[in-house]
Amino acid sequence: MTINVLTISGSLRKGSFNTALQRALPALAPADMKLTEAPSYDSFPLYNADVQNGSGFPEAVKTFADAIRNADGVVIITPEYNYSVPGALKNAIDWVSRLESQPFKDKPVAIQSATGGPLGGARMQYHLRSILVFLNAHTFNTPEIFVGSAHTKFNDKLELTDETTKKFVSQQLEAFGKYIARVRAD
């Protein structure tokens, strides 16, 4: 049986190491896992309850939420901005969290991060885990993926070239597939 996993990049930047890592995932995933990139959230307005209560949820928010709902699991690949979650990603999560059928509820979620610094996004992952706890997501624990000094792990075409990183990412995706199966069985 195929495991359908949605991938969400926390960066809107074209030259993002996190989006490059997202693009590398299908080649590193187990054979029974199909990875699909999430619809873009770059057109979401800043969350405002007045907008929600007035004109309703933007169509792009509904499309993004449906993609999350329809997936067996989600992998969020995101940088760390100022020790935390990037604002655009947090805004997207805030929007979908207000929907009547909140899409992260009971959804298995794995986290990966790539940064130029040596910690690889550890502080951001702590904050994102806290957000996901409130949303009642099933956050996958280990192995964790922190790609520090990302500029040394990708070539000039933004292709992941570091074999150790590839190995750890493959191990995480393999374990995440098993985790999804356990969560679905409950």
Listed residue (37, 106, 98) closest to 67, CA to CA: 37
Residue 132's Cβ-side half-sphere holds a number of Cα atoms within 13 Å equal to 23
Identify whether the C-beta of residue 108 lies closer than 8 Å to the C-beta of residue 101.
no
- In words, the CATH class of domain 3-185 is alpha beta
Specify the pTM: 0.96
Identify whether the C-beta of residue 132 lies closer than 8 Å to the C-beta of residue 89.
no
pLDDT, tens digit, for every residue of 19-70?
999 999 999 999 999 999 999 999 999 999 999 999 999 999 999 999 999 9
Residue 3 CA to residue 182 CA, distance in Å, equals 12
pLDDT, tens digit, for every residue of 85-122?
999 999 999 999 999 999 999 999 999 999 998 888 99
Which residue ranges make up each domain of the chain?
A: 3-185
What secondary structure letter does DSSP report for 160? B
Listed residue (115, 111, 51) closest to 82, CA to CA: 115
